[in-house]
Structure 1
Amino acid sequence: MSGSEARKRRADAQRSAESVVGAAIQVLNRDPDASMGAIAAAAGVTRQTVYAHFSSREKLLRAVVDHLTAETVAEIDAEDIDTGPAMDALFRLLDASERTVGRYPVLFQSGDAAATTQSADDQRHDPVADRLSRIFRRGQQSGEFDAHISVTWLVAATIKLSHTASEETDAGRLSEHEADAALRTSLRRILTPD
């Protein structure tokens, strides 16, 4: 097999794997318990093809989570979070994240999207945490944010508070508007110097 044939095969395999992940996102967003066969049918491939790319459901779910993370990061990066007041940048980041979650509500609400180890979950948050860190450092340097609280703590608190807002909405205890308002108020109180 020539080099160009090998490259074509790899490119075809990559497109096939991407098609499976795309189909999995759509199918699992409608039915988080959908079978690998249903995902294969939606992708227009056989179950064997799905298993050739992803040897287990867990590996396919990891690929789905990786795709959703990349989509979230792209949405955040489109917001130009390195400009303007740091608080505004933080809220633009949160809005961008929420747009991705809003496109896949069932998938994010189900446990499947987060069916990873704690270490994998931390890695999934790394790109967002890096962007949050930039915002917090900038806000502390400008005096907009309290410089006495570590950036690491602020990142962890923001991620946890964001998850709590989503959980309260999912449980029906708060409307989306109420949860968003509570999140923003909480963050302002944590970040603003006394």
Structure 2
Amino acid sequence: MNSVEDSAGRPRTRANANRGRILDAAMTCFAADPDASMDDVARAAGVVRRTVYAHFPNREALVDGLSDEASAALADVLDHPEPDDPAVALAVGALRTWPVGDRFRMLLSFARKEVGDHRIAELIAPVRTRTVDVVERGRDSGLFPAYLPTAVLVGMMEGLTMSVLEQANFGLVRDDGESMALGVLVLAGVPVDRSPDVLDDARRWVVSAHGRDDRRGDPRGTEINAVKGANAQR
């Protein structure tokens, strides 16, 4: 059976290929114009308007579908082992989640207005939970200074992430998550002069983990391919 892949790298069967095509078109349309209509999305997807409404009865349902896609993609990239070193784990998390954030960054332009802060909070909750755990491990081991409450610090990291993604919208950030990773490390308390070395360790760990997944036949790792390809060009 012919199939394509969704944004998280999972196979799409013929039965849901139209839905995936519509979501891909919606991301493109909303990135160019947050006020794009359902007709605009249908034209971009190469389907008739009736097909769009069969999957998404209104604009709100379509935006919810995009949010669900982003949530599933985040869940996939977080479902991997992580390094024992909390600093390297923070950087690995940034490198792994960047491709998802980069792909869905257009949601930041209008999602709060469309779906509300509560839905956005639900979307990033798994990342927040993981980051809190890593920061607390780093503090317990003495690696990270406890200069702010963990919840406040993690909130600042989320704000930094949103800001870097917004700068990517303007074409001012063109890397594969390195800027975000370095910023998160410095916020955590890693010395500025040591952060690039930690980032290098994180890159190597991600590529090595991808190799282990390949040997196990694990189909995940779309986000790791991007990092591996970027490293090969350096």
TM-score (norm 2): 0.60
Residues 65-115 of structure 1: CA deviation (Å, up to 9, x unaligned): 11112112211223x23x32111111111111112234456x457535973
Instruction: Provide the residue aligned with 2:59 in structure 1.
Output: 57
Amino acid across the alignment from 1:190 = L
Quick one: distance in 2 between partners of 1:40 and 1:185?
Answer: 40
Distance 1:50 1:28, change over 3 A: closer
- Superposed CA deviations along residues 124-174 of structure 1, whole A, max 9, x for unmatched, are 1111111111211211121111234222112211111011111123224x3
The corresponding residue for 2:137 is 138
Supply the distance in 2 between the matched residues of 1:42 and 1:179 (Cα, whole angstroms).
29
**Residue segments in structure 1 that go unaligned for 5+ positions in a row:** 1-14
CA deviation digits over 1:36-67, x for unaligned, max 9?
584499486862x6435533211121121111
Q: For residues 148-187 of structure 1, what are the structure 2 equivalents within 5 Å?
A: 148-172=147-171, 174-177=172-175, 180-181=178-179, 183-187=180-184
Larger mean Cα displacement after TM superposition, 158-167 or 96-105: 96-105
Residues 1:68 and 2:70 aligned together = yes
1:161–1:104 distance in 2 versus 1, CA, 3 Å: closer
**Which residue matches 1:23?**
21
Please identify which structure carries the higher helix content: 1
CA distance in 1, matches of 2:64, 2:185: 34
Separation in structure 1 between the aligned mates of residue 114 and residue 148 of structure 2, nearest angstrom? 31
The whole-number CA distance in structure 2 between the counterparts of 1:103 and 1:149 is 31
Q: Gapped runs of 5+ residues in structure 2?
A: 1-12, 31-35, 192-234
The match for 2:110 is 111
Is 1:98 matched with 2:98? Answer: yes
1:188–1:46 distance in 2 versus 1, CA, 3 Å:
closer
Q: TM-score, normalised by structure 1?
A: 0.70
Structure number with larger C-alpha Rg: 1
1:87 aligns with 2:87: yes
What amino acid is aligned across from residue 86 of structure 1 in structure 2? Answer: P
Contact 2:90/2:134 (8 A) holds in 1? yes
- Alpha-carbon shift at residue 35 of structure 1 (Å): 2.4
Instruction: Give the letter aligned to residue 168 of structure 2.
Output: T
Change in Cα spacing, 1:151 to 1:166, as seen in structure 2 (3 Å) is same
Identical aligned pairs, as a percentage?
21
Report how many aligned residue pairs link the two structures.
174
- Distance, in Å, in 2 between the alignment partners of 1:38 and 1:133 is 38
CA contact (8 A) 1:145 1:193 kept: yes
Q: Following TM superposition, by how much is the alpha carbon of 1:29 offset from its aligned partner in structure 2, in angstroms?
A: 3.0
What is the distance in 2 between the residues matched to 1:114 and 1:89? 33
Tell me if structure 1 keeps the 8 A contact 2:135–2:150: yes
* Amino acid corresponding to residue 38 of structure 2 in structure 1: S
Taking structure 1 as reference, are residues 177 and 26 closer, same or farther at Cα in structure 2, changes over 3 Å only? closer
The alpha carbon displacement at 1:27 in A equals: 0.9
Tell me if 1:121 matches 2:124: no
Q: Matched residues in 1 for 2:167 and 2:173: separation?
A: 8
Q: Distance in 1 between matches of 2:69 and 2:176?
A: 29
- C-alpha distance in 1, partners of 2:44/2:37? 11
